[in-house]
Structure 1
Amino acid sequence: MDCGCSEPACGCEVIGDACDMGCDSGCDSGCGGAILDGSLACKLGECDLGDPFSLFGEACGFSAGGWVQMGYHNNALPLFNSRPDEFQLHQAWLWAEKAIDTSCGFDIGGRIDYVYGTDSQDTQAFGIDNDHWDNDWDNGGDYGHALPQLYMEAGYGDLSVKVGHFYTIIGWEVVTAPDNFFYSHAYTMYNSEPFTHTGALATYNVSDNVTAYGGYVFGWDSGFEDNGDAFLGGLSVGLSDDLTVTYATVGGRFADDRITTEQGYMHSIVADVTLTDNLQYIFQSDLLDTENNAGALVRETFGINQYLIYTVSDCVAFGGRFEWYNQEGVFLNDNGTDDDADDFAQESDIYALTLGMNYKPHANVIVRPEIRWDWDDDLLAGLDEGDDQTTFGIDTIFMF
């Protein structure tokens, strides 16, 4: 049996069907950390990712790449994963970037992202219902194209400013599949947070432990057309080597077109805690409170997400996510206006527990199986199976 120890500091030998790790079971697996006792842990600890390959590479500060995400889930969720019992292409992604380097003074760069798949319609500039920018780049009812990022960035020293169309800084989960632990998403991320903005955002590294953000954006999820006037900003503080807290907020007009008006305030607070060398805990709390031009309630939501991620090695990690999502809003009954007498407000509590695994058989491949339980006694979430649902899903991401 191979214990997975390359150049062990204090011995690693096979005794029966188990590995004697030595030094309080602190055998270095050669792939980023200690592993548990027992033969199964030894096998999980074995990790040979190989050398990552890049289709485009880097030249003169310019780089490009992408990934392909394909997956299956047996039940529909009212989130990104809304197409059940089908093997589908979620994201075929290409990006190109000139990253800035301010170590020697002023520098300028930028980035463009393109995506095709079932996730694209959720990443388009749908904040204005007039098919501007990429909002009408659809291919049938579920597939389509999007350009979720197109911006220029300039920086000098500790200050940088991006101008254009870019991803939000709100929340912990993101649209880009390789940057999330789980295949599915949280209700908070999908329903109470913006995906993209268009405008200008400054980032200032106050110190090694403090980063400040601030800028002006055209509302939520809009392309290069004014859909509102809002402030986007926040503060990320490393309180210790093991704890980072990030507060991000957006306030002002989020939507203003011929169909929808919405203005208000939203914030996200994320605490990222390193409990041990292998164990990470994330706590997130989101608050959203908006109204229309007449001062009537549009949306009021509050959510708490908790994540616990255990990394066995660079190849294997296990995680859990538990979410409580509370929403209150105006539900429209007939002609779509916010001031009809027969419209009504209703409150709903939704709970979701997700258990998942990340397995990397190669440096360019991630496999993410998960099982998820959702509960919604108020029947407002739109679950496939009524008030409670069990969903199995698995996806694979190929990066290049």
Structure 2
Amino acid sequence: MKLTKLALVAALACGTFAGNAFADQSNDIQLVSCCEEASCDCGEPACGCEMPSFGCDMGCDGGCDSCCDSGCGIGALDCLTGDCCLGDPYTLFGELDNGWSMGGWASLGYHSAALPIFNDRPDELNLHQAWLYAEKAIDTSCGFDIGGRIDYLYGIDAQNTQAFGTDPRGWDNGWDNGEYGHALPQAYLEAGYGDLSVKVGHFYTIIGWEVVPATGNFFYSHAYTFNYSEPFTHTGALATYNASDDVTVWGGYTMGWDSGFDDNGDAFLGGISLGLTDDLNLIYATTIGQFGRNAFNGDEQGYMHSIVADYAVTDSLQYIIQSDLLSTEDGAGVDARNTFGINQYLIKTLSDCWAVGGRFEWYNNEGIDFGNGATAENDIYALTLGVNHRPHANVTIRPEIRWDWDDDQVVGLQDGEDQTTFGIDTVFTF
């Protein structure tokens, strides 16, 4: 590797030492105040710092008070002694008139080897996502309300989130700039009354645990299941009903998968979220019908579901297990895609500034072309270990190391049947 590229990686990790918050798209990691767990009464830390879980037994003088009395430190040593002062996040736009707000983020990353999923431009400093959004969240506590949201994305991730399902059509499908591109992944209106709301337009899927926005994921890289077996966006109408504090139900109609405002099929999208206990949440989400008119002999139809269980093992340890099933046929009634995957995540929050996590995936595939003509059945495995460091409320640094291997055949990995990949990115929010 060239020295200049190593310097870019070092600058990315160290030169950007100033802040992030996990974003607005879900999957946020719940950070735990160790001081609240301790038997002593520290009070509320004025600087907003938290003591790491392994320091709970140090007592007030060794944790809370040491941080808030001594001010905010910088670096891993300070965090290990309990000093973790994120401060308040900065906003570029903030709240606008009539309840509208604007914001965004920028994600820059480097990965040492190509993966057949999103991170396919190796050994370069990449602008993955330069993101802007405008949103009016609805508030139905006093009755009827109307709002909406629009998102704009520029970067190398844009081509994966355009309306490629109707290629070469699609309202943003041709907005490419070499390996970079532009996308409008969301543009919808939402109306609600009481516990019921309806979203109409172009919006993200409710399927799966990982999401497109960098701010909604713990890891820099993505799972095979996310990329090959799940839709990213839908166009149509989706209703959400909050039946109780523990039960949410979704149901609606979409024009296939990953289309803009072009007809790409007719499908049902729905699911249910159940808070089974205070610590365990279960989500079942499904889409059934015609997923696309542009491939697989002009018609792909079938069934897909994702089941996600999210369990708080302790106040600082989160375990997620996800199972996805996809089964489709083409226009001639021949099997098109048959996949099954199990993803497991274990995430440990050490403090407001530090978290560590692991992801293990088993992905069984029939019919997916990984870009090398290989479509026979195979089993792919991937293990990812990563760290999230938040030196400031507006910055997250996410280094990771990932191992991919395939026991059946080559699937397009750079080194053949197995591959080790180092990756790191920094996400700035504003």
Q: TM-score range by the shorter chain?
A: 0.7 to 0.9
- The answer (yes or no) to whether the contact 2:62–2:82 under 8 Å persists in 1 is no
Cα separation, 2, equivalents of 1:25 and 1:266: 53
Q: In the alignment, what sits opposite 1:192?
A: 229
Secondary structure in structure 2 of the residue aligned to 1:121: helix
Cα separation, 2, equivalents of 1:163 and 1:281: 33
What's the offset of the Cα at 1:320?
0.2
In structure 1, which of residues 71, 77, 99 is the aligned counterpart of residue 109 of structure 2?
Answer: 71
In structure 1, which of residues 248, 252, 255 is the aligned counterpart of residue 289 of structure 2?
Answer: 252
Q: 1:22 to 1:130 in 2, by over 3 A?
A: closer
RCO (CA 8 Å, sep 6+): is it higher in 1 or 2?
2
In structure 2, which of residues 323, 329, 332 is the aligned counterpart of residue 285 of structure 1?
Answer: 323
Q: 1:264 to 1:41 in 2, by over 3 A?
A: farther
2:177 paired with 1:139 = yes
User: 1:374 corresponds to which letter in structure 2?
Assistant: D
2:351 paired with 1:313 = yes
Q: In the alignment, what sits opposite 1:328?
A: 366
Secondary structure in structure 2 of the residue aligned to 1:78: coil
2:249 paired with 1:209 = no
Q: In the alignment, what sits opposite 2:386?
A: 356
What's the offset of the Cα at 1:281?
0.1
**Superposition CA RMSD, Å:** 2.7
Q: In the alignment, what sits opposite 1:338?
A: none
Q: How many residues align?
A: 374
In structure 2, which of residues 197, 211, 214 is the aligned counterpart of residue 177 of structure 1?
Answer: 214
Q: 1:330 to 1:364 in 2, by over 3 A?
A: closer
Q: In the alignment, what sits opposite 2:269?
A: 232
The structure with the greater share of residues assigned to helix is: 2
Q: Describe the superposition over 1:38-79 as per-residue Cα deviations: whole angstroms up to 9, x where unpaired.
A: x96962642100111110001331100000000000000000
TM-score when scaled to structure 2?
0.82
Q: Describe the superposition over 1:352-387 as per-residue Cα deviations: whole angstroms up to 9, x where unpaired.
A: 000000000000000000000000133342111100
2:102 paired with 1:81 = no
Cα separation, 2, equivalents of 1:9 and 1:344: 59
In structure 2, which of residues 247, 271, 278 is the aligned counterpart of residue 241 of structure 1?
Answer: 278
Cα separation, 2, equivalents of 1:314 and 1:85: 31
Q: Structure 1, unaligned stretches of length 5 or more?
A: 13-17, 32-38, 334-342
In structure 2, which of residues 384, 394, 397 is the aligned counterpart of residue 367 of structure 1?
Answer: 397
Secondary structure in structure 2 of the residue aligned to 1:378: coil
Cα separation, 2, equivalents of 1:29 and 1:188: 45
Cα separation, 2, equivalents of 1:236 and 1:29: 40
2:57 paired with 1:21 = yes
Cα separation, 1, equivalents of 2:86 and 2:254: 41
- The answer (yes or no) to whether the contact 1:29–1:45 under 8 Å persists in 2 is no
What's the offset of the Cα at 1:194?
0.2
2:415 paired with 1:377 = no
What's the offset of the Cα at 1:260?
3.6
Q: In the alignment, what sits opposite 2:426?
A: 396
Q: In the alignment, what sits opposite 2:338?
A: 300
Cα separation, 2, equivalents of 1:152 and 1:398: 27
In structure 1, which of residues 88, 91, 98 is the aligned counterpart of residue 129 of structure 2?
Answer: 91
Q: 1:293 to 1:236 in 2, by over 3 A?
A: same
User: 1:108 corresponds to which letter in structure 2?
Assistant: I
Q: 1:231 to 1:63 in 2, by over 3 A?
A: same
The structure with the greater share of residues assigned to strand is: 1
What's the offset of the Cα at 1:21?
3.2
Cα separation, 1, equivalents of 2:66 and 2:169: 52
Q: 1:362 to 1:20 in 2, by over 3 A?
A: closer
Q: 1:207 to 1:139 in 2, by over 3 A?
A: same
Cα separation, 2, equivalents of 1:329 and 1:395: 32
Cα separation, 1, equivalents of 2:403 and 2:81: 26
Cα separation, 2, equivalents of 1:364 and 1:75: 28
Q: In the alignment, what sits opposite 2:95?
A: 58
User: 1:124 corresponds to which letter in structure 2?
Assistant: Q
User: 1:216 corresponds to which letter in structure 2?
Assistant: Y
Cα separation, 1, equivalents of 2:106 and 2:147: 25
User: 1:116 corresponds to which letter in structure 2?
Assistant: Y
Q: Structure 2, unaligned stretches of length 5 or more?
A: 1-33, 43-53, 68-75
Q: Describe the superposition over 1:321-371 as per-residue Cα deviations: whole angstroms up to 9, x where unpaired.
A: 0000000117699xxxxxxxxx99620000000000000000000000000
Cα separation, 1, equivalents of 2:81 and 2:108: 24
Q: In the alignment, what sits opposite 1:221?
A: 258
User: Percent identity among equivalent residues?
Assistant: 68
What's the offset of the Cα at 1:9?
5.8
User: 1:123 corresponds to which letter in structure 2?
Assistant: T
